[in-house]
Amino acid sequence: MKILTLVRQVPDAEARVKINAGSVDLEGTTLVIDGMDEYGVEEALRLREGGGGVEEIVALAVGPKRVEDALRTALAMGVDRAIHIETGELLDPIALSRIVAQVAQAEGAGLILVGGQEADWDSQALGAATAERLGWPQLTWTNELQLEGDRLTGRHDVDDGNESFRASLPAVVTTQQGLNEPRYPTLPNIMKAKRKELRKDDLATYGVQPTVRVVNAEIQTRARLNRMIDGKDPQAAAEQLLDLLRNEAKVLA
Amino acid sequence: MILIVAEYAGGKLAKSTLEMVTAARESGREGPVTVLVLGQGTAEIANAAAAVADQVLVADLPALATYNAELWAAAAAQIAQEGEAHTVIIGGSRSGREYAPRVAVKLDAPYLEDAIHLASTGTALQAQRYTYLARVTETVEAEGPVVVVSVKPGAFAPAAPLAAAGEQYDVELDLPAARVEVTGRSVEKTSRVALTEADVIVTGGRGVGNPENFSLYVEGLADRLGAGVGATRAVVDAGWRPYAEQVGQTGKTVQPKAYVALGVSGAVQHLSGMGKSRYIVAINKDAEAPIFKVADYGIVGDVNQIVPALIEAARK
Ligand SMILES: Cc1cc2nc3c(=O)[nH]c(=O)nc-3n(C[C@H](O)[C@H](O)[C@H](O)COP(=O)(O)OP(=O)(O)OC[C@H]3O[C@@H](n4cnc5c(N)ncnc54)[C@H](O)[C@@H]3O)c2cc1C
């Protein structure tokens, strides 16, 4: 069985996001492999190490040239090879799922792992849209996963708690915190990763157009009052805070 | 028509459904606002929906007794097709955002996810949404014979009842078999207000010290204020509190009138879940804690001293 793991490259959480002429400008921003996707890469490796009958793990990324770095990270963590569909085009998750489904089919993948919510477009749609295109079931927000033959079992979060599940491959699993602790690539593995296959693929062969246009982007920080209350006298501070919440902000009865 | 898929919990129509009705009416899209109720034994929910909608479609079926992404997607897509909906609105809950993309793919429609504002411009539907860990507000647009939208909880005002209740109709569905088998469920029940519905939220971070203090201070204050209880990931990872209470990038997104953060540092991943709250209150012993940058009211002090005083003062 082959696992396809999807990788996005996003700004480091602590990095400043800049806007230029109505769109997000990542020039000069520190970019990393999305933490949510990293859980997916790690889980693929663990499923193989756990004897789940995993023949090959392939990482896929769609994006500009720089996205190679995220794929190299995945290769250094231990995936076998990578596919990079190089494009500067902004593809929304519904459009992107069309590419992922085609790659999954061409590769004969039985399991797709992808982050539950990407930190660039704050979207949870890619896993589900891909599953629908392939006609596969999906397990989202997974925080525990086992694979035996083509049987998947595990646990995932739902609206009001969590569920244990059972499903058969092929399937799409979206990953999140708690699933595992991603490993750091070691120096020898980083060196080895340089020799692993990183295939370039042409967007044109997939016949995909964006379905959503970005019209504008802005950083809207709400002006905060930043009013500090002296905490030296806890009683007085408590009374003053309640008074402000009741009579100034009017958010408490 | 505009098709809204109802969200409900505990046998009651969720506030998010009323918010979706407002989103539909504010979107500038034409046609009757239709609510689809999927489930079993949903009469009460359908009645509540009828109070705010032009019409209600009810699929009361044993197969829909529990939520399932593939079934919900199939049902919503079928009804959207039969009813020639040009807009399908789904809740931005975890489950809503799980099956909405499937509906979009089934309908070959674009998908505007987690919208906080909707407007029509010419032939396009425009949505505002947050991106980059909620640090950016993006305006996106899409067009097509049908557009699928999910709506962020708390972003729209709940719709008020109409003068006359909408008509209710039963609908037939051709559903696939469920392929994901649920073998166990653990519902994280709380006697308190649900986080996404709460007007006030009291959240505890690692600075609260330990699980006992969390009960004493965070739950204690929440009870005084009739508030929901939230937690940071640090607290959830430490096993003090259930994941259901986690606020942030990988937890819930909340937008209450007042958010009270006790012993919370204010990491970006946490801010992305609560940064849009109307008023933010922070109590932290470190004057340099990043949470103070986003706070409206801040107290530099020890939660062990300030919070008991607050609970005491709130009693009056
Ligand atoms: C991919 C990813 C996703 C994440 N998702 C989330 C998420 O969804 N939600 C989330 O919350 N975090 C998330 N995080 C983690 C986040 O980065 C922070 O680690 C976390 O929010 C810190 O929690 P905290 O503020 O409770 O703890 P700490 O950072 O340990 O801060 C504790 C604070 O309490 C103060 N304090 C200590 N003692 C006292 C006292 N006696 N009185 C008053 N104040 C005191 C300290 O000054 C400090 O500011 C995520 C991280 C990653 C990498």
Give the model confidence (pLDDT) of B217-233 as tens digits. Answer: 999 999 999 999 999 99
Helix (H, G, I), strand (E, B) or coil at B148: strand
Using alpha carbons, select from B63, B37, B62 the residue that is nearest to residue B51. B37
Test A244 with B297 for CB contact under 8 angstroms.
yes
User: What ipTM was reported for this prediction?
Assistant: 0.94
Bridge partner list, A114: A174
pLDDT band at B187 (very low <50, low <70, confident <90, very high): confident
Report the percent of chain A where pLDDT is more than 90.
93
Residues sharing a CB contact under 8 Å with residue A232, sequence separation 6 or more, in sequence order: B301
Test A128 with B297 for CB contact under 8 angstroms.
no
Ligand 1: distance of its center to the CA of B58 in Å? 44
Q: Which residues of B touch A93 (CB under 8 A)?
A: 101, 111, 113
Of A92, A129, A177, the CB nearest to B250: A177
pLDDT at B67 over 90: yes
Backbone angles phi, psi at A161, to 5 degrees: 155, -135
pLDDT at B257 over 70: yes
Q: Check: CB of residue B210 under 8 Å from CB of residue B296.
A: no
Q: Which residues of B touch A24 (CB under 8 A)?
A: 131-132, 136
Of A17, A158, A212, the CB nearest to B132: A17
> How far apart are alpha carbons B124 and B292 in whole angstroms?
40
pLDDT at B45 over 80: yes
Measured between CA atoms, how close is B168 to chain A, in angstroms?
27
pLDDT at B190: 66
Report the pocket of ligand 1 as residue ranges, CB < 6 Å.
Answer: A 35, 177; B 205-207, 232-235, 246-251, 263-265, 267, 269-270, 273, 284-286, 289, 302-304
pLDDT at A39 over 70: yes
Residue in B247, B264, B302, B305 to alter for ligand 1 test, most ligand atoms within 8 A of Cβ:
B264
pLDDT at B137: 95
